[in-house]
Structure 1
Amino acid sequence: MKEQLKLKLIPNLALLLARMINSSLRLEVRGEERVNKLLAGDKSIIFALWHGQLWLPSYHFRDQGYVALASQSRDGEYISRLLQKLGWEVVRGSTSRGGARSLLRLVKKLRQGKHIAITPDGPRGPIHQVKPGVVYLAQKTDSIIIPIGVSYTKKKIFSSWDHFWLPAPFSKAALVYGAGLEIKEDKLSNVEIEDYQRLLGQKINQAGQAAEKVLGDQ
């Protein structure tokens, strides 16, 4: 009974907090016009961002019908319920539990023309290290990976494995869509997959640096 109560209360409280904080942010978004053109095209998009920077993008993308991957852990259940309240479609699984099945479900969603968001260093890290699943998804579905970076003028950084960022209410925020990444090869060697992992990690970091620059220029 106690666990069921927590499963109801925690996502509702998180939703209230997300609405209060995110609606108060003075947000600058860069690269949105370019991404909107891609969204109007015939290719699906995989948005890629670091796990610790989920707070703003998960709210900014609300009610779009985008698909997210949430782990099968208890924390993943909380996140899944919150995302669903924000209008996301959620696939449960990870690279460690239910990984192959969840990747196949995401492949199906992408081939149906849906857009998804991935935290390629989640759900357990190592922090800011891209895992191969996102490369597999892009290759198998001819999707475009769009890296996302965020920044805040004021934030709390938690001591969790992902160093989760929670912006301070009424602070300035920036969300930047980085340069897209496409994978044209039909087959990839392990070395090539690792090269794409490193490249995507660099692109996510560059988007984050661009977001910092947006706030620094204000």
Structure 2
Amino acid sequence: MTKRLLSRPWAQEVLAFFVLLYLELVRHSIRWEHRNTDYVQSVWDERKAILGCVWHGRVLMALHGWARQKDRMVALASRSREGEIGSRLARWYKVGVVRGSSRNPNKPGAAKGGEAAYRAMVNHLNAGGCGAVTPDGPRGPRMRAGFGAVRMARDTGVPILPFTWSTRRKTVLHKAWDHHCLPHFFTRGVIIWGEPIHVSKGADAAELEAARLNLETQLNTLTHEADEAVGGEIVNPDPKHRPGTGKTKVTGASGATA
């Protein structure tokens, strides 16, 4: 019944509004520390294009971390019910949304608009905009990066910028594949930006794998640092690696959210 209810647009809009209220109240109650903001500050000051990457389980505070120029940001969201609610939430913040997912290997006939979404994101970045993707979404494994972001960086010349956050008190949804984190009110938090990752336009398969591994390693290092810095629960990556990673063969541009 819940799934049927959440498939209705009015219910999705209501839920997105309540999530918005929670986010606005909780983020203003937290004592935030910001780390390594020099590069992202230059992005805002000089209106550079970047591709921001955050783990799926940390998306809730991503827009808080992106403090300026939200009109330049376009986020990539899946075509799932969860993606629809996230899209409605993003629109409250006047952030653009591109919908599309990589194909589910268990449903080979199910086209989910991944190629069209990928092209739309590439066009936006080439026009000087900024993008946001979850490199372990939409199905995981948790905190294991796919090739979507690094291919996008290769095809546009736009650098990837890792981002994460944590709070001392938070609820971790352990039953969810991404161990989604819900920050508590009136606690201590930290936002950390990583170092930009550049992928050359002529990058071959081995270079793409190196960039993918760099992204995964940076995000996991930053996330561990953030959890440790506030003294809260530490969320670790899924012990399983993403299928197809760790190899040198990389195929076309499909799988935009990979």
Q: TM (normalized to structure 1)? A: 0.91
The answer to whether the 8 Å contact 1:69/1:91 transfers is yes
The aligned amino acid for 1:15 is: L
Taking the TM superposition and a 5 Å limit, the aligned residue runs for 1:6-155 are 6-41=11-46, 43-61=48-66, 64-65=70-71, 66-96=73-103, 97-155=112-170
Identity fraction in percent: 30
Shift of residue 121 of structure 1? 0.4
The answer to whether the 8 Å contact 1:43/1:144 transfers is no
Alignment of 1:182 with 2:188, yes or no, is no
Shift of residue 60 of structure 1? 3.4
The answer to whether the 8 Å contact 1:120/1:134 transfers is yes
Shift of residue 41 of structure 1? 3.8
The aligned amino acid for 1:72 is: R
Which of the residues 202, 206, 209 maps onto 2:221? 206
Please give the root-mean-square deviation of Cα atoms over the aligned residues, in Å.
Answer: 1.9
The aligned amino acid for 2:186 is: F
Find the aligned partners of 2:61 and 2:36 in 1 and give their Cα distance: 16
The answer to whether the 8 Å contact 1:178/1:206 transfers is no
Shift of residue 112 of structure 1? 0.9
Find the aligned partners of 2:120 and 2:90 in 1 and give their Cα distance: 18
Shift of residue 185 of structure 1? 4.5
The aligned amino acid for 1:112 is: A
Which of the residues 197, 205, 208 maps onto 1:193? 208
User: Relative to total residues, which structure has the larger helix share, 1 or 2?
Assistant: 1
The aligned amino acid for 2:230 is: L
Q: Secondary structure at the match of 2:178?
A: coil
Find the aligned partners of 1:78 and 1:101 in 2 and give their Cα distance: 20
Q: Report the CA distance shift for 1:43/1:34 in structure 2 as closer, same or farther (over 3 A).
A: closer
Shift of residue 192 of structure 1? 3.0
The answer to whether the 8 Å contact 2:65/2:191 transfers is no
Shift of residue 34 of structure 1? 2.6
Aligned pair count reads 215
Find the aligned partners of 1:98 and 1:12 in 2 and give their Cα distance: 26
Shift of residue 59 of structure 1? 3.2
Query: Which consecutive residues of structure 1, in runs of 5 or more, have no partner in the other structure?
Result: none
Shift of residue 18 of structure 1? 0.9
Q: Secondary structure at the match of 1:27?
A: strand
The aligned amino acid for 2:151 is: Y
